[in-house]
Amino acid sequence: MGDLHQVPSEVKKALDNMSKRSNEIANLLVQRPSEDLTRAMRMRMERSMELASIQATAFEKRRLPRVNNE
């Protein structure tokens, strides 16, 4: 993958938010493994689907022709 500085800011922000949610999921599993397992698994699946969407969007943006405004 390319340099992180080339990633659009909205993608960076979305990935940052996903990282925070991933930490929340891990904390849920450590604190109450049986009570919140279903919720944590659902959140993890949603996070995975969101990541796939972000990756697809970033891929499509890279494929679009660049406009030079010079």
* Digit-coded pLDDT (tens) for 3-56: 555 667 877 888 888 888 888 877 777 776 666 677 778 888 888 888 888 888
pTM as predicted: 0.40
Cα(13)–Cα(9) distance, integer angstroms: 6
Nearest in space to 26 (alpha carbons), one of 12, 41, 16: 41
d(CA 29, CA 9): 31
Task: Flag whether pLDDT at 69 surpasses 60.
Answer: no
Judge whether 3 lies within some domain: no
Q: How far apart are CA 50 and CA 42, in angstroms?
A: 12
**Within a domain: residue 52?**
yes
Q: How many domains does the chain have?
A: 1
Residue 2 lies in a domain: no
Range of the domain at 37: 10-61
pLDDT per residue as tens digits for the range 30-45 = 776 666 677 778 888 8
